[in-house]
Structure 1
Amino acid sequence: MSQLQMRVSDEDRERTAQQLQHAFSEGRLTQLELEDRLEIALTARTYGELLGLIDDLPVDQPQVDDVVELESKNGHIKRAGDWAVPRRLRVVSKYGSVELDLSEAVITHPVVDIELDLAYGSAKITLPDGGVANVDAFHSDWGQVHTGDVPGRPRAGAVHVVISGRTKYGSLTVRHPRKRWLSR
């Protein structure tokens, strides 16, 4: 199933409605266009339906077809802290490892696609609290894929990360952030 066919949440519908109202306030939509699109947005069932309503409007984030690519031949690729996660991320590393920490990142999309192309390196992806990850499209020839207790199916209100790609000799680990115990 493609991401465009995935079912949306009430929050997704509301976010799209806000984008439409903002476009109307900027003069990009007429009153009639706004009303027609809002009616569809509030009854939409899939991301494809929602994206069809806003794909002709300017946005500050990457469009569905935009891909941010990170590449390294033998260095370590690492993203952590307060960084903007694109809708689609393609990571290529021949000999190095990859560490993507999404736990404190700014994620404006309900679904994030991460494609990993690793030859000899491994990848570790840390999800935000409550995040889910589907790793069904990731293959490791000689390594392992570890997801622990990370759910694989979409959940309402949770970031859904879809991981695809391959590694020849490395592994993939997907986990939630470690709990930090506060001293009293």
Structure 2
Amino acid sequence: MSSVPENVSPRVSDVDRDSAVERLQEAFAEGLIPQEEMHARLQTALTATTQAELASALESLPDEDTGPTVVVNAAGGLIHRRGRWQVPRSFKVTSRMGKVYLDLSRAVIEYPVVNIELHLGYGWARIIVPPDATVNYDELAAEWKQPSYKAPQHGNSGGPRVRILGTMGHGRLRIKHGRG
């Protein structure tokens, strides 16, 4: 006869904790969690040892909407989107020698966080974001030239968060805000 209880919640991994922390950060950025509650939820997620403890940190959050992912693979050429186009939750571009021009300033953006993943060998990328967007490109590894981005002097608020990640070989990423 075993002495292990039958209803023990499985243990969590570091990957589970990291995923929960990222979900909490996104929920906080979307305004779903007040600041005074965020610290306690993060503490719970970071110290959780069981799935039940981890679930308690995420309770009352709506189901995660991963949304569509658009994947574009090209050897070269120009990948171009502008005007009123529907921005997916995740946009992934892989190109050995191509150029990427994404203008989100007049696009339809339904998600509070948009992920743009670039994997460019020798091309350049230019991304124009809405005037009220916040931009994060900390997860982009640039081999040759660092991204060019000048944050607006006025504080951004209320707009989408645009996360740019991936790898840039021998090209350059330029990010700017569109006009309001």
Question: Could you say which TM-score interval applies, normalised by the shorter chain?
Answer: 0.5 to 0.7
Unaligned segments of structure 2, at least 5 residues? 1-17, 42-56
For the structure 1 residues 155 and 178, does the alpha-carbon distance in structure 2 shift closer, same or farther, using more than 3 Å as the test? closer
Write out per-residue CA displacement over residues 31-70 of structure 1, whole angstroms, 9 at most, x where no aligned residue.
xxxxxxxxx9xxx969x95995345xxxxxxx41642101
TM-fit CA distance, 1:139 = 1.5
Q: Which has the higher strand share?
A: 2
State TM-score, norm by structure 2: 0.66
Count of matched residue pairs: 139
Equivalent position amino acid for 1:4 in 2: R
Give the structure with higher Rg (CA). 2
Q: Out of 47, 68, 80, which is 1:78 matched to?
A: 80
Aligned partner of 1:163 in structure 2 is: 164
Is 2:62 aligned against 1:53? yes
> Partners in 2 of 1:99 and 1:92 — Cα distance?
13
Q: Aligned residue for 2:24?
A: 5
State whether residues 131 and 179 of structure 2, in contact with CA within 8 Å, keep that contact through their aligned partners in structure 1.
Answer: no
CA distance in 2: counterparts of 1:9 and 1:68, whole angstroms: 23
* Offset of residue 167 of structure 1: 1.2
Structure 1 residues 9, 156: closer, same or farther in 2, change over 3 A?
farther
Q: CA 1:148 to 1:101, structure 2 compared with 1: closer, same or farther past 3 Å?
A: same
Identify the residue that residue 177 of structure 1 maps to in structure 2. Answer: 178
Seq. identity, % = 33
Task: Return structure 1 stretches of 4+ with deviation > 2 angstroms.
Answer: 48-55
Backbone CA RMSD of aligned residues: 3.1
1:110 corresponds in structure 2 to 112
Aligned-pair CA distance for 1:157: 1.5
1:11-36 deviations in whole A, cap 9, x for unaligned?
A: xx5xxxxxxxxxxxxxxxxxxxxxxx
